[in-house]
Amino acid sequence: MNIIDVAREAGVSKTTVSRVLTNSKLVKPETREKVLATIEKMGFIPNTSAQKLAGNRNYVIGIINSESINDPFYGYVEDQIAQECRKRGYGVIYTVTHNENIGCEREISMLYGKVDAFIILGNQGILEKDVEKVVRMQMPIALFKTDVEKEGAMSVDVDNVQGGYMAAKYLLEKGYKRIGYMHGSRTRDFREGNQREAGFMKAMQEAGREIAAHFYGTRSYSEAYYSTEQIILSGVDALFCETDMMAYGILQGMKEKEISIPHNIAVLGFDNAKFTNYETQIKLSTIGQPLEKMTGYMVEGLINMLEYGQKYEKTTLFETDLIEGETA
């Protein structure tokens, strides 16, 4: 069933049907009514591929999630993006990458021709040449927390170095004496972690202080949880965790060992991840990312690129906020 069937049924030309579909002014109200009624009766759905092909905009933004469809942090970000897009009359479709470090060519083509612009989320195996391809096809693209810089692509992230600096400053000012550090990776393949660490160390050096003990949690709740004993034995009185997920694992472990937080050990996280299931536990102190501001800026920018051909500087870094909870 296509626009021609509808036209025949309604007794008009397909041009007129198309005009009705695109809300053109060039249709007499009664004609419009008649066509609309026919469409409804026949249950016709316009083929958006054909619409897009014919040169029209689709009002759809494509999101490529390089992390996991199942990640609470990016799930929240996707929600925010969808809301922002909706406000401006754009729909959103998603896809997730293979996670095999082969880039996201396949995902780009799945969406290409269907969406007006791209947003890439996260940093798992996103290749510069993928982004370049999109730029060369003249499509607006924005990168969210992705470690790729490319002329013509907008990029949004948080200033991890400044955040790490803020974290150390806070713990130092609170007067903690033996500050421990939980890394998200042992092999330094975690870019955000490296940056957070760089900022943290800078503040420590400025204060002439050293890390009392290092721990490693692979960014996971359970790995961190199982370090509880070791952390207690190390004798630290404060612990900075490169991600909230790890901080939560530790809070759980400490609770079971009946260690008073922050009295015996203070815990400071990083991310301000929204884990709704934790809402009733102790409120984590953490370095927060202004996610609403970041997604708002990004979507607005992307649509400006799309509608007005506006250009954006490659990377915009947002400042982190200190979120004072009950754990440090």
Partner DNA sequence: CTGAAAGCGCTTACAG
* Contact positions vs DNA (CB under 7 A): 2-4, 12-19, 21-22, 25-29, 31, 46-47, 50-51, 53-56
Among 160-168, 263-271, 278-286, 317-325, the segment contacting a copy of itself (CB under 8 A): 278-286
Question: In the complex, what is the shortest distance from the CB of residue 301 to a copy of itself, in angstroms, rounded to a whole number?
Answer: 22
End-to-end CA distance of the chain: 64
Longest dimension (CA), the chain: 84
19-52 burial: b if 16+ Cβ within 10 Å, else e? bbbeeeeebeeebeebbeebbeeeebeeeeeebb
> Of DNA, a copy of itself, none, which one sits near residue 314, judging by CB under 5 to 8 A according to partner kind?
none
Q: What is the distance between the alpha carbons of residues 76 and 82, in angstroms, rounded to a whole number?
A: 10
Q: What is the CA radius of gyration of the chain?
A: 25
Say if residue 136 is exposed, middle or buried (CB neighbours under 10 Å; 0-12, 13-18, 19+): exposed
Question: In the complex, what is the shortest distance from the CB of residue 165 to a copy of itself, in angstroms, rounded to a whole number?
Answer: 29
Tokens of 251: 């809070």
Q: Tell me which of 5, 14, 36, 46 binds a copy of itself, using CB under 8 A.
A: 46
Whether the link from the prior residue into 262 is cis, omega within 30° of 0, is: yes
CA 99-100-101 angle, to 5 degrees, is 95
Cβ distance 235 to 180 under 8 Å? no
Residues 223-252 that bind a copy of itself (CB under 8 A): 225, 248-249, 252
By CB under 8 A, is residue 326 in contact with a copy of itself? no
Give the residue with the Cβ less far from a copy of itself, 161 or 273: 273
> Of a copy of itself, DNA, none, which one sits near residue 16, judging by CB under 5 to 8 A according to partner kind?
DNA
> Of a copy of itself, DNA, none, which one sits near residue 21, judging by CB under 5 to 8 A according to partner kind?
DNA
Q: What is the distance between the alpha carbons of residues 14 and 275, in angstroms, rounded to a whole number?
A: 51
Give the residue with the Cβ less far from DNA, 82 or 306: 306
> Of a copy of itself, DNA, none, which one sits near residue 72, judging by CB under 5 to 8 A according to partner kind?
a copy of itself
Site for a copy of itself, rule CB under 8 A: 1, 43, 45-50, 52-53, 58, 60, 68-70, 72, 75-76, 78-79, 82, 86, 91-96, 98, 106-114, 129, 132-133, 136-137, 221-222, 225, 248-249, 252-253, 275-281
